[in-house]
Amino acid sequence: MEAGQGCHCHVQHRPIKRDKGSAGRTHSLGKSIAVTMIVTPLSMWASAALAAQDAGPPRCTTFNVADSTPLAGVKLVSAGRIAPGEAVRPELQPGKPCVLGPGNRCASEVKAGTAGVLLHRFKSWVCVALPAKGKINTQAGWIPENRWARDQTAATGAWAGIWQNEGAKITVTSSQGRLHFVGGAIWQGLADPHFGSFEFDAVPDGDMVTLTDGCEVRIRRVGEYLFAQDNQQCGGMNVSFDGLFRFRGDLKP
What are the sequence ranges of the domains in the chain? Answer: 20-55, 73-150, 161-247
194/33: higher pLDDT: 194
pLDDT for the residue numbered 90: 96
Over the chain, what is the mean pLDDT? 82
pLDDT for the residue numbered 67: 76
* Among 244, 249, 198, residue whose Cα is nearest residue 221: 244
In tens, the pLDDT along 158-189 reads 999 999 999 999 999 998 889 999 999 999 98
For residues 118 and 148, the answer to whether their CB atoms sit within 8 Å is yes
Q: Where are the beta strands (DSSP E) in 16-167?
A: 78-82, 115-122, 125-131, 138-144, 148-150, 161-164
pLDDT for the residue numbered 54: 62
φ, ψ for residue 216, nearest 5 deg = -105, 125
For residues 101 and 140, the answer to whether their CB atoms sit within 8 Å is no
In tens, the pLDDT along 33-57 reads 343 334 444 454 445 445 545 679 9
User: Is CATH 1.10.3470 correct for 73-150?
Assistant: no
